[in-house]
Amino acid sequence: MEKTASRINDDLLRPVLETSPRFYLAVVLVGLVAALGFVAWGYQIWNGIGVAGISRPVFWGFYITNFVFWIGISHAGTLISAILRLANAGWRRPVTRCAEAITVFALMIGAMFPLIHLGRPWLAFWLFPYPNERGLWPNFRSPLLWDFFAINTYLLGSFLFLLLPMLPDFALVRDRARGWRQRVYGWLALGWEGTPRQWHRLETAMHIMAVLIIPVAVSVHSIVSFDFAMSPVPMWHSTIFAPYFVAGAIFSGLAALILAMALLRKLLHLEEYLRTEHFSNLGKLLLVMSLLWFYFIFAERLTVWYGNDPAEMAVFRATQSGPYAPLFWVMVFCNFLLPVPLLTIPRLRTIASTVVAALGVVVGMWLERFLIIVPALAHKFLPYSWGTYAPTWVEITITVATFAGMVLLYMLFAKLVPVISVWEWKVGRHPLAEQRAEISPAVAKTVAPEGSA
């Protein structure tokens, strides 16, 4: 039975307009875990970076691992959403906003880690290229400076890409809310009335942003890979790192999107909107990225083994059969051996199995980031310069807190904004122009061009 526009509005706006006590309890619990991260960071600032496990020669540890991991997770949204929009994949309509929100939140979290790793965050302004009386300027040849510009550009573009399609839904909430909430959403809607001219401008802006955001997203994680590839560290100085990092980012981002959708589907009772077909299609994409990830891992290690350079072979042995071997083989299991059979066989590609595969990929990709960084730094060149790394409670607490922070931001977002785009869902189910008048009941003449994104 086809749902009416009023029923769709009720289903998708219910989490925004109605709040249960369990929501507040969950926010408090998750918020406390996230707050522990700030407490640990404050402890580190007060006592110095020495409270972390970072030491010679492993100057990068959990903090840079988390930085690369969260920047990779950010590719879940804007890049995937933009590609699906340009490909006009109709099934992506309930998925896009869930994905785009992950991008913004993951970038916000990831961008914090260079400051945390800095130890003295009040000196971060040294990185900013501003005129000063001392005649000091940042080193523009440093990939770390490239990160600053790339991440901020990506964050701004992703925020706009998330905001634009939310305007019609803000107007819809405005028309149904009362009191202060009506005033707030009226301001957020930016005067949206659903006129044909506004629809045309929205569609044009979204297509332009979709085209522009793809090269920006690819360049961001390529530049993150340059943090490693531009250094003469064993197994880092490789031309394969840029595509390897981009593929890994899409891989981990897809997994994060699947997990977020599964939680939203269960907690917000969106089973009729986030369906098996959506998880199946995302599972197929995850399968493709798993195979591509395995290709990059195999190609990287094959060239190292064939070259037989002593410095690189030391890192190779440490990860394949040495102290880091358990983490390496867990990574291979989570990223390849687990998802491939679950996602290849159609009978096994259920929602539950897709979620299991995605959870394994998130764990495996965090381990991959760790294994890229720590073993290479711990086995640099001559054996007498080798070292070890063990994280302290400060690093572990901050790491756990970032995952809690991601959950908290997503919960608040789902409370303030419909996590499924109401107007896009209606356009997908009712492509006739007259049906689009129901997108915003304030203006009965609202008409969008047929085939709108």
Q: What is the CATH number of the domain that holds 234?
A: 1.20.1630.10
Residue 325 pLDDT: 94
Residue 74 pLDDT: 86
SS3 label, residue 441: coil
3-state helix, strand, coil in the chain (%, to 5): 75, 0, 25
Residue 342 pLDDT: 92
445 belongs to a structural domain: no
Give the angle subtended at the CA of 315 by the CAs of 147 and 112, to the nearest 5°: 25
Q: Which amino acid is at 101?
A: A
Cα 115 to Cα 104: distance, rounded to the nearest angstrom: 18
DSSP run (H or E) holding 319? helix 310-320
Residue 430 pLDDT: 52
State both tokens at 354. 């897709």
Structural domain count, the chain: 1
- Name residue, tokens 């085939």: 451
453 belongs to a structural domain: no
- For 243-290, list the strands marked E by DSSP: none
Cα 411 to Cα 50: distance, rounded to the nearest angstrom: 34
134 belongs to a structural domain: no
Residue 432 pLDDT: 44
89 belongs to a structural domain: yes
Quick one: which of 195, 173, 194 has its CA closest to 184? 173
Alpha carbon distances (Å) from 104 to 3, 26, 419, 422: 32, 22, 14, 20
Residue 221 near residue 72 (C-beta atoms within 8 A): yes
76 belongs to a structural domain: yes
Question: What range defines the domain where residue 277 resides?
Answer: 5-127+140-438
132 belongs to a structural domain: no
202 belongs to a structural domain: yes
- Digit-coded pLDDT (tens) for 181-203: 888 988 988 888 888 898 889 88
Cα 53 to Cα 74: distance, rounded to the nearest angstrom: 27
452 belongs to a structural domain: no
- Name residue, tokens 């995952």: 403
Percent of the chain scored above 70 by pLDDT? 91
Quick one: which of 34, 169, 155 has its CA closest to 103? 155
pLDDT-flagged residues of the chain (< 50)? 1-2, 431-453
Residue 437 pLDDT: 40
Residue 444 pLDDT: 35
